Structure 1
Amino acid sequence: MDDDLSRLGLIDEDDIALDQAALALAALDHDDADLAHDERLLDDMAARLSIVGADAATPAAQADALAAVLGGEFDLAGDALTYDDPANADLISVLARRRGLPVSLSILWVAMARRLGWSAHVLDVPGHVLVVVGAEAQPVIVDPFARGARVDADRLAALVEAAGGGGRAVTHVAAMPNRAVLVRLLQNQASRAEQAGRGRRALELYRRMTVFAPSYPHAWWERARLEVVDEQLAEARSSLGAMLEITRDPALRERVSELLEALATE
């Protein structure tokens, strides 16, 4: 497992295939998974998209093709009924159930678009995740949770406001790097595990994040916090030390140093 995670951590950011990476992360929790079956399903999606979107020369046409194939033919949509089910953030389960969270579905939308050479990115929206299709020339924003429905400027502003934006401009919405998307996927699982009283499961998920995305300080902090809860003090000190190596934020460094000092007396 560590070898697979470490290899993912060594891949250049732009070379990460989101669907393959998310599938590999899900496989860590499925000893009997038939990844060949899931990979064939992904290939089938891409093949259908290449046919339906053969003449899609604009972002709008590409977004329509994605919605028709993924949201329509393959019935991929958000799980509004059991939103907090951990299966919604596990790509193997998402492919089996055809239901998922915004981030897991966005991974599929973006990955399929990129397989055809289209420009697509996962958008980090306060309280939600969307997909933007196209680059500078007339990009189109869609919501995979709603089967690829279009999201116009008014709808985007409403989402920001509903998440407690308090008048913040829509410019706070940003495309997410590939590793950040995968971290977001596992964070969803970790938060749900901890809410369910499964602290060690959450700890394992944060540990995975620090292996394949070691430059993300939040994962190190959460890992250290849960290690302290589990009385793994030496491990917590190591995690905080690693965090000090990667963060340059003075306030955060001071907070980590204070905690390290407190742990040194334990």
Structure 2
Amino acid sequence: MTRDEAEAILTRAGELDDEAFPLFEAALACAAHDDPDRDEQPALDLARSAVERLKARMQSESPEEAIAEAMAGDLRLTGDLLTYDHPDNADVIAIAERRKGLPVALGVFYIHAAREVGLDVNGVDFPGHFLLRIETDEGPLALDPFSEGRVVLPSELSRRALRTGLMPDVAARLDQLMAPISDRAVLIRLQNNIFARAQQSRDWARAERSALRRALLDPTDHHPWLDVAAAREGQGALAGALQALSRAQTLDGGATIAARAARERVRLRLN
């Protein structure tokens, strides 16, 4: 898949409603867009194997047991504890080869496989740590793809929320903290992770690519264009940064004070 082909897939995905958003296809396009000189087949093979293994496990195990055993037990998918900030941890093609990564990137495989066998699984934008929510006959359960898909008990969820700095009354509202998010939001969270790490390491080219993918995935949001502009400015591409800032202002109806200020700063540098 070329970078242009990946952008075309992401553009089409961005135009779809949340209900029709193609999570795995878009995640694969994101990985190819970041580095197109790779074979996507390992990721496709892993996704297919995940569906097959989960379907077999569902014959004799509960949904929450089946998904954990299929993904972590059979396919060896787990969180990368030792090199958490490694760029490959946010890339579904690399994960297919390494079998470890960030919770949100691992979650893409979990969600894809679960949906293919008829399970109701969604991402959760839990404070400080991405989780999955699976609907069962006994009610919703939280699963942690970073910890081999294990069930996270409500008491532990509250403790995790408290550790992020939330007030006790907020941390106790698990119905709100465990609210499912859209597949589009899952993939945008993954791109945010990539941008933050690239920005920290001053890899401005990679930061620009991740911000551009966010802009394609949610074409109504002006915020990704601010990040595109910052990444381009970091590379010295001031004319491109100015274009991105203008795009941000257009999407926000010209109301973005930060974009106007940044645009003026970049414009002065061009003179």
Q: TM-score, length-normalised on structure 2?
A: 0.86
Deviation at 1:136, TM superposition (A): 9.5
Q: Distance in 1 between matches of 2:189 and 2:137?
A: 25
Per-residue CA distance 1:220-245 (angstroms, 9 max, x = gap): 22112222333433333332332234
Q: 2:23 aligns with which of 6, 18, 22?
A: 18
Instruction: Show the counterpart of 1:113.
Output: 114
The alignment of Structure 1 onto Structure 2 pairs a total of residues equal to 260
Instruction: Show the counterpart of 1:224.
Output: 229
Per-residue CA distance 1:104-156 (angstroms, 9 max, x = gap): 11111111111112111100011110000018960111101001111121111
Per-residue CA distance 1:3-52 (angstroms, 9 max, x = gap): 23322323332222322221221122444433234313211210111121
Instruction: Show the counterpart of 2:183.
Output: 178
Instruction: Show the counterpart of 2:124.
Output: 123
Aligned ranges 1:1-266 → 2 under 5 Å:
1=4, 2-54=7-59, 61-134=62-135, 138-167=139-168, 168-169=170-171, 170=173, 171-247=176-252, 253-266=256-269
SS of 2:132's partner is: strand
- Counting aligned pairs with the same residue, the percent is 30
Q: Distance in 1 between matches of 2:247 and 2:150?
A: 42
SS of 2:82's partner is: coil
Q: Distance in 2 between matches of 1:166 and 1:241?
A: 39
Aligned AA for 1:130? L
User: Given the superposition, is the C-alpha separation of residues 137 and 256 from structure 1 closer, same or farther in structure 2, using an over 3 Å criterion?
Assistant: farther
CA RMSD, Structure 1 to Structure 2 (Å): 2.4
Q: TM-score, length-normalised on structure 1?
A: 0.87
Moved over 6 A (4+): none
Deviation at 1:173, TM superposition (A): 4.4
User: Given the superposition, is the C-alpha separation of residues 135 and 180 from structure 1 closer, same or farther in structure 2, using an over 3 Å criterion?
Assistant: farther
Deviation at 1:206, TM superposition (A): 1.1
SS of 2:125's partner is: strand
